[in-house]
Amino acid sequence: MMPRFQRIKAFITELEIPDIDENVPNYHEQKHVDALCAKLQDLDSVNTALQGDSLTISEVRALFDEVIENFRHTETRLSSSVKIVRDPAFESGIVKKETEYVVWLFKAKN
C-alpha cells in the first residue's frame, strides 16, 4: 500500500478534495513514510535474496546479521542463539567451515 501511495501522492494533492486532503500526510509525516518505505525496500531485498537456491548457511547468517545490525529489534528472532536454532554450535561450525572453504578457494585461484 505504501509504495502505491508513494507513486500517486503528487496527484492526490492536486485533487483538492477535503475528505482526501485531511488524510494526506503532512511534510514531516511524509518524511517518516519515505524513511519507512526505504527500510521496507531493504528488508524486501533481503527477503528476495533468501529465496535464492544457491545460498549457503554462512550467507544466510551474514544476511541475518546485517538485518540485526540495521534493525535491532530483530535480534530476538534472527540471532544465532535464538531457540529456533536447534544446534547453535553446529550452525556456527558450518558457517566457519564454509568461510574457510571460500578463503581456500580464493587462495587457490591466486
pTM, two decimals, is 0.60
As a whole number of angstroms, the distance between CA 47 and CA 24 comes to: 30
Instruction: Indicate if the pLDDT at residue 108 is higher than 80.
Output: no
| Amino acid (1-letter code) at residue 92 | S
Domain positions in the chain are: 1-51, 54-110
46 against 8, higher pLDDT: 46
Instruction: Indicate if the pLDDT at residue 67 is higher than 90.
Output: yes
As a whole number of angstroms, the distance between CA 59 and CA 49 comes to: 10
**pLDDT score, position 110:** 67
95 against 64, higher pLDDT: 64
How many other C-beta atoms are found inside a 10 Å radius of the C-beta of residue 67? 19
How many other C-beta atoms are found inside a 10 Å radius of the C-beta of residue 17? 11
88 against 96, higher pLDDT: 96
